[in-house]
Structure 1
């Protein structure tokens, strides 16, 4: 996969925290930023995909999903990330 450089603005406190974490983990700043972006994209694409599936089901007249099931699935995904 090819890589390219982008620029963005960040609050000073966040940059300091990122650099401190980078040093503590002995990893470079770019690696941490890329991992954070990967996690963000994975989570939000998953949410959008699930919402679209549920909307299609609702539009087809199917019964919805209980909130407890949604939260159970989210907890399961988060636990997988933490372990």
Structure 2
């Protein structure tokens, strides 16, 4: 897949941390930035999808019953 170029302004402290981490990991800083962006995008996409699912369930009236909530409460609190 072809790659594009993105220019980002970062604080000097962030750049120093990035370079230090890249050196310790013996990997290029560009690779760390690429992985960070990919991970961020994956998390954001997951959150959006899960939110959409939850809204659809709520719109459909798909809520836990009182008994299900009581059972979960007992399970996690021991009461």
Residue 6 (structure 1) shift: 1.0
Q: What residue in structure 2 maps to residue 61 of structure 1?
A: 61
- Structure 1 portions without partners, runs of 5+: 69-83
Once the two structures are superposed, what CA deviation does each residue of 1:32-58 show, in whole Å capped at 9, x if it has no partner? 000001111111111110000000110
Residue of structure 2 in register with 1:19 after alignment? 19
Larger Rg: 2
Q: Tell me the equivalent position of 2:76.
A: none
Kindly report the root-mean-square deviation, in angstroms, between the aligned alpha carbons of the 2 structures: 1.6
1:4 match: secondary structure: coil
Which 4+ residue blocks in structure 1 deviate beyond 4 angstroms?
Answer: none
